[in-house]
Amino acid sequence: MPASPLHAPVLDWYDHHARDLPWRRPEATPWGVLVSELMLQQTPVARVLPVWQAWLERWPSPAALAAEPAGEAVRAWGRLGYPRRALRLHAAATAVRDQHGGQVPSDYATLLALPGVGDYTAAAVASFAYGRRHAVLDTNVRRVLARLVGGVEWPAQAVTRAERDRAEALLPDEPATAATWAVAVMELGALVCTARDPRCEACPVADRCVWLASGRPAYDGPPRRGQAWDGTDRQCRGRLMAVLREAPGSVGQAQLDAAWPDAAQRERCLASLIADGLVVRSDDRFALP
């Protein structure tokens, strides 16, 4: 398949503008890449960087993490949000230790079989850690391709078959180049083709963008979900988790009651944390797993 005219300008732009992130450096391990991918889901790079560094210092291998209780992973997760990701990472580390000799697998199908690893993460680790040829469809990539090739401001809320086919058709043939292309398009979405206020004047492929050529038409699809926070169950769960993370051992009901004023919401959120495996209850005491 001939190279797309999009490849050269995007790859050249990435070569000159890519951020120096530790999980992209040559010395980054596949484990470090896997940790970064789980942490970066729905969390900005600036918040992830210090936690990722501390995590890799404490647990430089899957076996090191698997040797500790899952609650320690939750505690170290800190305020990254969506703490179930910490449980998934601990479960994945345990599977890597027990089923793969402590080495993060290199192929997509085996990665996908790890606990808590979905399509995007499997493709990302295979691509970024091992230089495999995969369509890596994160939020940034999907937005760039929706605008650049599809001519719409936003992609569908869930990945479609047509969207995947389009991304795969754009992959360079050579695996290592395809891996660089994947991260380059991701970086373009993070720095230039952003969700709000895209900087089309700085885009290396603005002259080929269908959405820009059409006058940047506004999104007219189904309503997009907002990210409300104040007063939500997410905020309540976060307050309860903060109490548990900061306690050296278990805590009593009174300590949790002080964390959130609405008793009904607090009890609902505590029950959901227990159901998710993030909190364990013993009599009237609560602790991380």
Q: Which residues, including other chains, have CB under 8 Å from residue 34's CB and lie 6 or more apart?
A: 89, 92, 104, 117, 121, 125, 129
Residues 6+ apart with CB under 8 A from 239: 259, 260
Give me the catalytic one of 37, 72, 153, 267. Answer: 37
Annotated active-site residue 153? The verdict is: no
C-beta of residue 87 within 8 angstroms of C-beta of residue 66? no
Rounded-to-10 torsion of CA 269, 274, 279, 283: 110
Q: If you count DSSP H runs as helices and E runs as strands, how many of each does the chain have, helices first?
A: 15, 3
Residues marked as catalytic = 37
